[in-house]
Structure 1
Amino acid sequence: MNEGTLAAGTRPARVPGTDAAWHELLRRASAPYRGAGRFAWHFARGKLGRDPVFRSLVERGEWGHAARVVDIGCGQGLLASLLHACGTLQQAGQWPGGWAAPPALQQYTGIELMPRDVARAERALAPLALPARFVAADMRAAALPECDLVVILDVLHYVDHADQAALLARVRDALQPHGRLLLRIGDQAQRRGYTISQWVDHIVTGVRGHRVPPTWGRTRDDWVALLGSLGFTVRSAPMSAGTPFANVLLVADLHASLS
C-alpha cells in the first residue's frame, strides 16, 4: 500500500476565470430539481453550492474517465445531475481549458436507503433521459454492478465496522480494471471537527424526518489501512473547506494485479 496526501491545504489550486463556469454548472445541475418540489430544488442548490466536495471533484477531475458509476448513498441523485451538467457545459463549448474533461457517462446506478430521496431523484432527473437507475435499498445488501467508479460520500459511518469492511470488499470486486473508489470520511483523529460534524449530521437527519442512527467512525489512518488491506492504493485530501468539519476525501485505486 502506498498512501499519500494530495496538495496541502483545504482547497485545490483554482484555475483563473473558472468561477463563472462553476456557477453555470451549479445552475444547470440544480435546475432539474425545480420539477421535484421546492425542498428538492433548495436542497440541490445548497448542497452543491456549499459542500466543497462537488467543485473539488470537477476541478481535480478525480472521477477520471469513468463511464460506469455506482453512487452509494446517492440521496436525490445530485452527483448524476452534476455529471450530466458537466457534459452539457462541455458540449456547449463552455468547459474551461484548465479542467480535466468530464467522463462520458454510460451507466449510473444510485443506491439510497430512503425511498423519498429516490422518488425525488427519479422525478427530477427522468426528463433528462439519463442512463441512470435509482435503487431504494440498504447498501449492505444492494447488488453492485460492474463499474469503473464507486462514490461513497459521508454514509459509510452509518454501518458498523464489520459491515464497512464487507461493503468495501464488495466494492473492490465490482470495480473493473483501473477502477477507483472515492470515499469521503470524517477523520475521528480530528476530535473537534469530527464531533461537530456528527452533531450537525444528527440534527439534519432528524429535521429531514429520518431516524438518527448510531455511527461508527475511524481515523483517516485506520480507513487507509483498511483500504490497503483490500488491495487499494490510497491518496487523501482535506475536504472541509469553508466548514468546521473533519472531512477527508480518500481516492483509492485498485492495484493493477487485482483489477
Structure 2
Amino acid sequence: MTTVPLAGSARALSRASRLQRAIHALRTEGDSRGRESFAIGLGLMIGCTPFWGVHFGLCWLVGRAFGLNRLKMYLAANVINPLILPPLFYAEVQAGSLVRRGHLLTLSWDMITSGRVWDFGTDLVIGSVVVGLIVGIVGGVVTYAARRPAQDPFFQLLVRRASDRFLDSGITAWEFARGKLSGDPVYAAALAAEFPAATGTLLDVGCGQGLMLALVAEAQHTAGRGEWDTTRSDPPQFTRLVGVELRPRVAGVAKRALEHEADIVAGDGRTAGLPAADVVLLFDVLHLMPDAGQRELLRAIRAVLPHTGRLLVREADADAGWRFRLVRVGNTMKAFLTGHWRQRFLFRSQTAWRTLLHEEGFEAHVQPMGQGTPFGNVLISAGLRLDGR
C-alpha cells in the first residue's frame, strides 16, 4: 500500500499558499506514536540546556535531521519556563558537580566572585545534559503511554487524504476536517458498515463542508488505484455524489474540496428539489428543525428513495443522561459562537426518533454512536416501510 496523494488532496496542496503548506508540514511531520514521543523527549532535553536564544534553531535542525515534528519539539522545549528555571538550575549545577567531582557543590556568593564562575558554568552545562536526559526520557515515555496507538492505520490514511482536500480553503477548515473525521466515530462506522459495495447515488443532506463525501471519494479513489485493504469490507462504488448545504459559504468549501467529483447544492433540503438517491445521509440535521420541519424533510427524502434505498440518520439520544447534556451544551455553544443566538433545538430519545421515522414511512434500526467520545449519539439506519405507508 503506497501513500501517494490522490487527485483531490494533491489538487488542494498545489493550490494552497506557501504559509498553508508550511503549517501543514509542521502539523503532520513525524506523525507517529514513536516519533512524537521522541520529539517531545528531545524537545524537553533541549529546553533544559542553558543555550538560551538558540533553542529554536536546535529544535529545527535536530527535528529535520531525525524527521521529527519540529513544532512539537519547540513547544516541548518551552515547557522549561522562567517559573521552574531556579530549581532546574540548582539541580543541573549539582548534577554537574557530582559528575565532575563526585560530591554536591556548596553554593555561595563567594564562589562566584572568587573567579570560580567558569567552574560553575561547566557544572551547569554538564548537569544540563544529565538532567535533560532524565527529563527527556520521562517526557518521552509519558507521551508514548498517553498517545493511543492507531487503531486503524488504513482508515487514518483515508482521513489524511480526505482532510488534505480542505487545506486550500483555510487552516481552520483543514484542522476541522482532520479532527472531525478521525475523532467522530460515525464516519468510520458509516464507511465500514453501511457503504460496502454500495452503488448509485449518495446524497448528503446538510453536508456541511463535505466531510463524508470527501471520505467516500478518497475510499473510491483508493480502491480504483488497487490500494484498498482487502481485509476490510468492499469499498463503496457510488456513481454520483451529491451534497446539499444550507449555508452558502460552507457549501463553497465543499465545492472546492470536491471539485469535479460531487455536485454541491447551496439550499434547504426541504425545498431544494432533491435528486433520486440510493443512500441518503442526514447527520446532525433534524434536531435543528421544529417538528414540522423534521417531517417535511423526511417526506422529501422518502420521495427520492427507491424501495431498496437506505437513510442514515445521526442524532443525539435525549435519554442518554449526562452524555446527552454534553451534546446540548456543545450545540448551544456552537450556536452562540456562530451568532445564531435564537437557534432552537428539538432533540428526541432514540425511541422517539424511531417513532418519528415510522410515522413518516421508514423502518429504522438504532445503534449507539458515541464510542470513544463522551457524547450520547445514535446512528439510525432506515429503509422504506414494507407496507408502503
* TM-score range relative to shorter protein: 0.7 to 0.9
Give the distance between the partners of 2:161 and 2:343, measured in 1 at CA.
33
Deviations 1:202-233 (A, max 9, x none): 22343345555110111110111121223322
Aligned partner letter, 1:245: F
Task: Tell me how large the CA RMSD over aligned residues is.
Answer: 2.0
Identify the structure with bigger relative contact order (alpha carbons < 8 Å, sequence gap 6+). 1
1:188 to 318, 321, 333: 318
Q: Which has the higher strand share?
A: 1
Over alpha carbons, which structure has the higher Rg? 2
Determine helix, strand or coil for the equivalent of 1:185: strand
Kindly state the Cα deviation for residue 39 of structure 1 after the two structures are TM-superposed.
1.2
5+ residue gaps, structure 1:
1-16
5+ residue gaps, structure 2:
1-149
Determine helix, strand or coil for the equivalent of 2:371: coil
Give the distance between the partners of 1:79 and 1:103, measured in 2 at CA.
12
Q: Cα distance 1:18–1:240, how it changes in 2: closer, same or farther (>3 A)?
A: closer
Q: Cα distance 1:147–1:63, how it changes in 2: closer, same or farther (>3 A)?
A: farther
Give the distance between the partners of 2:311 and 2:238, measured in 1 at CA.
16
Q: Does 1:27 align with 2:157?
A: no
**What is the match of residue 71 of structure 2?**
none
Contact 1:67 1:103 in 2 (8 A): no
Q: Does 1:38 align with 2:171?
A: yes
Q: Does 1:71 align with 2:71?
A: no
Contact 2:246 2:267 in 1 (8 A): yes
Q: TM-score scaled by structure 2?
A: 0.58
Q: Cα distance 1:212–1:107, how it changes in 2: closer, same or farther (>3 A)?
A: farther
2:234 to 94, 101, 105: 101
Question: Identical aligned pairs, as a percentage?
Answer: 35
Deviations 1:156-205 (A, max 9, x none): 11110121112112211110130100001111111322111011122234
Kindly state the Cα deviation for residue 63 of structure 1 after the two structures are TM-superposed.
6.4
**What is the match of residue 380 of structure 2?**
250
Determine helix, strand or coil for the equivalent of 1:228: helix
Kindly state the Cα deviation for residue 106 of structure 1 after the two structures are TM-superposed.
1.8
**What is the match of residue 297 of structure 2?**
167
Deviations 1:36-57 (A, max 9, x none): 1111111111110111100111
**What is the match of residue 4 of structure 1?**
none
Q: TM-score scaled by structure 1?
A: 0.86
2:355 to 225, 239, 242: 225
Q: Which has the higher helix share?
A: 2
Q: How does 1:64-213 map to 2 (within 5 A)?
A: 65-126=198-259, 129-130=260-261, 132-211=262-341, 213=343
